[in-house]
Amino acid sequence: MNTSFNQQNDALFVLIKSLTKSEKRQFNLYVGRLGGNIDAKFFSLFKFLEKQKIYNEKIIIGSGIVSKQQLSNLKAHLYKQILISLRLNPAHKNVRIQIREQLDFATVLYQKGLYKQSLKLLEKAKNMALDNEEKNIAYEIVELEKVIETQYITRSISNRANQLSIQAKELSQHNVIASKLSNLSLLLYSHLIQNGYVKNEKELQFVDTYFKNKMPVFNFQNLGYREKLWLYKAHLWRSFLIQDFLSSYKYARKCLNLFNNSKLINLHPVFYLKSRNYLLETSFLMKKVATFKKELNFFESEIDKKQIPMNMNTELLIFLYLYSNKLHLHFLEGSFEKGEYLVEVINNKIDKYKNRLDNHYVVLLYYKIACLYFGMGKNKLCIVYLQKIIRSKNISAAEDLQCFARVLNLIAHYECGLDYDLERQFVDTYKFLLKMENLQEVQKIFLTSIKDLNDVFPHEIKNEFKKIHTKLKKFENHPYEKRAFLYLDILSWLESKIQNKPIALIIKEKNSFSVK
């Protein structure tokens, strides 16, 4: 099984399978223009792999195109040629590539001793870089300008040297701050993925101390777009970690507000999509129903009107963010049955993007589908999707998700009346949570209570549910225990059992009074 997975994820094979019809056509034209290469081995290998459904080295070698000893080098050469072809494709000519191209041209002119022409091209590229907040490339350009100025002597060399020196220093300072802020943001995000929300005072202290020590000194007035974005994202991940969702919402809004014109959206569509998703996610966590619906409608409208630049990267993100939040809307409204159509769409998309989707995002979607079926009362289907998570490998970065999948699995088994399996499910779940060192007070109380229900007479069951609800209700707004209710709405389930109502109706009633 693992061998097949590795074969399917061969870098060259995945790249070829990602090519669109127009990109394949472009590659054919590119190879034809090289002259004498149309029958070259690398092109024969390309045509062969293009037709294959799975990657299999034995079949490739058996085709006679290449020997086993030559295959590795030929694959590397073909990979490089495809990238060159893609770089030449107008569809991939973003601003950064255009600036880098001008820098490359200027370097060629410099090496030919054509200093004046090189400086003219560098000035143009530098202005483009500065206009588009590409300060790292701008710094590279200034450094090359300084090198050329030492060889191309002009009467204004003294003034020019001062200008370049000051500009290099300013750009360097901006880049250092941006780098420190992006490092902080990335490390906080990594901590959240690896460890989940803070679970106690010790973890909270660690996050706050780390955040304070790693935050660089800066003058906010001097920050550009990119530095502000990384600053807000660092605050956003800290807020998520400590479960301060009001602060998360505030910084998600700040991130989105940076994209105050279509030019910035076109230049940085990935940052824009992430910012929009941050706002939707924090609105969902805070149960700001009206805000969530408004933002989701706006997001769908942008997609329908093609206002967001489309490439394979943005296409993938749009799928993840749009459909996750479509599910979230049904969770907020309690309209689970209306959302069932999303399951087929999501599964088809997962199959379409399987070579490029991180397994963490796949199991996250599976968990949300399981929650959808649980809300509908289709517990056997809920269990099917939870088993996909429980049996999934290589998701050590989703421990929280694994824990709550197992708790929901236990509830779904109880709801199905699978009493014969309940004891084993309980033991397996308890062992797993202990092994993960992730057992919260909410989970302890709930698991013990569910186990004890087996010994309760039918006419006493409702009273037992009331007792469990009372025990858990006090943790609903607890700073470290409330995360349990983010993944799984245990309280609404208990209320549905107590009031003899479907869980969907309970959620509708509760959220109709939630913060707008």
- pLDDT over threshold 90, residue 251: yes
- Hey, what's the torsion of the CAs at 250, 255, 258, 261, to 10 degrees? -110
Q: How far is CA 301 from CA 254, 294, 296, 298, 307, in A?
A: 21, 11, 9, 5, 9
Tokens of 325: 């939040």
Q: Say how far apart CA 512 and CA 428 lie, in whole Å.
A: 37
Which tens digits make up the pLDDT trace of 150-166? Answer: 776 554 555 777 888 89
State whether the Cα torsion 401-348-281-376 is positive or negative.
negative
Which tens digits make up the pLDDT trace of 33-88? Answer: 776 655 688 889 999 999 888 898 888 988 888 888 889 999 999 999 999 888 88
pLDDT at 3: 40
Instruction: Give the mean pLDDT of 440-451.
Output: 76
Question: Do the Cβ atoms of 49 and 73 come closer than 8 Å?
Answer: no
Instruction: Give the mean pLDDT of 399-417.
Output: 82
Cβ neighbours of residue 499 closer than 8 Å, sequence gap 6 or more: 506
pLDDT at 157: 54
Instruction: Give the mean pLDDT of 259-284.
Output: 91
- pLDDT over threshold 80, residue 265: yes
Cβ neighbours of residue 226 closer than 8 Å, sequence gap 6 or more: 133, 135, 178
Instruction: Give the mean pLDDT of 226-255.
Output: 95
- pLDDT over threshold 60, residue 1: no
pLDDT band for 7, please (50, 70, 90 cuts).
very low
Judge if pTM exceeds 0.95. Answer: no
The identity of residue 371, as a single letter, is C
Instruction: Give the mean pLDDT of 255-278.
Output: 91
CA angle 214, 218, 224 (to 5 degrees): 110
Tokens of 295: 């933002």
Question: Do the Cβ atoms of 112 and 204 come closer than 8 Å?
Answer: no
Q: Phi and psi of 422, rounded to 5°?
A: -65, -40
Which residue in 409, 476, 402 sits closest to 439, CA to CA? Answer: 402
State whether the Cα torsion 150-151-152-153 is positive or negative.
positive
Which tens digits make up the pLDDT trace of 381-406? Answer: 999 999 998 887 665 556 778 888 88
Give percent of the chain above pLDDT 70. 89
Cα Rg for the chain, rounded, in angstroms? Answer: 28
- pLDDT over threshold 80, residue 93: no
Tokens of 146: 């300084």
CA angle 489, 512, 326 (to 5 degrees): 65
State whether the Cα torsion 219-270-361-179 is positive or negative.
negative
Which tens digits make up the pLDDT trace of 20-34? Answer: 888 999 898 888 877
Instruction: Give the mean pLDDT of 245-259.
Output: 95
Instruction: Give the mean pLDDT of 203-213.
Output: 94
pLDDT at 5: 38
pLDDT at 145: 92
pLDDT at 4: 40
Q: How far is CA 180 from CA 114, 188, 254, 505, in A?
A: 38, 12, 19, 48
DSSP H/E element including 476: none
The number of residues making up the chain comes to: 516
pLDDT band for 427, please (50, 70, 90 cuts).
confident
Cβ neighbours around 264 below 10 Å, total: 17
pLDDT at 304: 94
Q: How far is CA 1 from CA 4, 282, 375, in A?
A: 5, 38, 33
Q: Phi and psi of 490, rounded to 5°?
A: -60, -40
pLDDT band for 515, please (50, 70, 90 cuts).
very low
Q: Within 13 Å and on the Cβ side, how many CA atoms surround 213?
A: 8
pLDDT band for 434, please (50, 70, 90 cuts).
confident
Alpha-helix runs per DSSP H in 35-114 = 41-51, 57-62, 68-88, 95-111
Give percent of the chain above pLDDT 90. 44
pLDDT at 497: 83
Instruction: Give the mean pLDDT of 82-96.
Output: 81
pLDDT at 91: 64
Q: How far is CA 125 from CA 131, 211, 297, 402, in A?
A: 10, 36, 39, 49
pLDDT at 516: 45
* 219-223, 241-245, 296-300, 455-459: least confidently modelled range: 455-459
pLDDT at 394: 61
- pLDDT over threshold 60, residue 193: yes
Which tens digits make up the pLDDT trace of 361-386? Answer: 899 999 999 999 999 999 999 999 99
The identity of residue 496, as a single letter, is S
pLDDT at 247: 96
Cβ neighbours of residue 114 closer than 8 Å, sequence gap 6 or more: none
| Higher local confidence (pLDDT), 208 or 433 | 208
pLDDT at 292: 95
Mean pLDDT of the chain: 86
pLDDT band for 458, please (50, 70, 90 cuts).
low
Q: How far is CA 112 from CA 100, 102, 149, in A?
A: 19, 15, 15
Question: Do the Cβ atoms of 240 and 285 come closer than 8 Å?
Answer: no
Question: Do the Cβ atoms of 305 and 344 come closer than 8 Å?
Answer: no
Q: Say how far apart CA 407 and CA 375 lie, in whole Å.
A: 15
Instruction: Give the mean pLDDT of 120-139.
Output: 93
Cβ neighbours of residue 171 closer than 8 Å, sequence gap 6 or more: 135, 138, 139, 142
- pLDDT over threshold 90, residue 346: yes
pLDDT at 158: 59
CA angle 72, 74, 79 (to 5 degrees): 95
| Higher local confidence (pLDDT), 98 or 37 | 98
Tokens of 152: 């191309």
Which tens digits make up the pLDDT trace of 482-500? Answer: 777 777 788 888 888 888 8
pLDDT at 283: 94
pLDDT at 138: 95
DSSP H/E element including 460: none
CA 263 to chain centre: 23
Cβ neighbours of residue 218 closer than 8 Å, sequence gap 6 or more: 177, 227
